[in-house]
Amino acid sequence: MGKNWFTIKKLYTNIWGIGEFNHSEKVISYLFVGENQALLFDTGLGIADIKQVVDKLTSLPVLVINSHHHWDHIGGNKAFSRLLRPLEDKIINIEPFELMVITTPGHTPDSICLYEKEKGLLFSGDTFYPGSIYLHFRESNLKDYKKTIKRLVKLDINWIFPGHNSFKCKPEVLHQIKNKLSAAFNDADNIKINRKVYLKLI
């Protein structure tokens, strides 16, 4: 695979986004580099070697956490030896970051987000991203997704770092989703949130 497969962007002090924008999924993984260890949130498609990218960014031991089980987020897992499936409300200390695990079912039953409360950063996986958010899978659950969004809008969020298409988004879109879901009476129809975001239900 060509050396330009990954797009790497420093998003915050010691936080990098690793995008695979040459694929239609445009999936994004996130690397947190702490004082003694690093954390990789998702490992992408597995088409190119994400570990080579991570190794260039840090020499620290790397812990991997997946936002959910879909293929486009776990493709590089095999390159890492330390994988963690954290519990709800667990705090993962990657100093200087304290990342809270938030279970966010809807897209999938096992979906999670990571929330850095002090800095107001939400790493949303496939719970939110600009684009067509897939809620039409057999395992998806719209009622759970509504509850998830209601929970997320209560958080103090400065930036969202989504799992696809764009490295960061403003948090106001979560309120737009909440309002549209509250007004939607027919769960069988796709829901347009704004010109970039759709909830795909069929």
Taking the domains of the chain in order of start, what are their residue ranges? Answer: 7-200
In one-letter notation, the amino acid at residue 139 is E
For 117-150, write each residue's pLDDT tens digit.
Answer: 999 999 999 999 999 999 999 999 999 999 999 9
- Tell the residue number behind the tokens 């790397």, with chain if given: 62
* pLDDT of 1 strictly over 60: no
For 48-101, write each residue's pLDDT tens digit.
Answer: 999 999 999 999 999 999 999 999 999 999 999 999 988 888 999 999 999 999
pLDDT of amino acid 172: 96
Rounded to two decimals, what is the model's pTM?
0.95
Identify which of 7, 40, 11, 8 has the alpha carbon closest to the alpha carbon of residue 119.
11
Tell me the average pLDDT of the chain.
93
Q: How many whole angstroms separate alpha carbon 2 and alpha carbon 62? A: 24
- Looking at the domain 7-200, which fold is it? Metallo-beta-lactamase; Chain A (3.60.15)
Q: How many whole angstroms separate alpha carbon 40 and alpha carbon 42? A: 6
Q: How many whole angstroms separate alpha carbon 133 and alpha carbon 20? A: 18
Identify which of 90, 85, 44, 89 has the alpha carbon closest to the alpha carbon of residue 63.
85
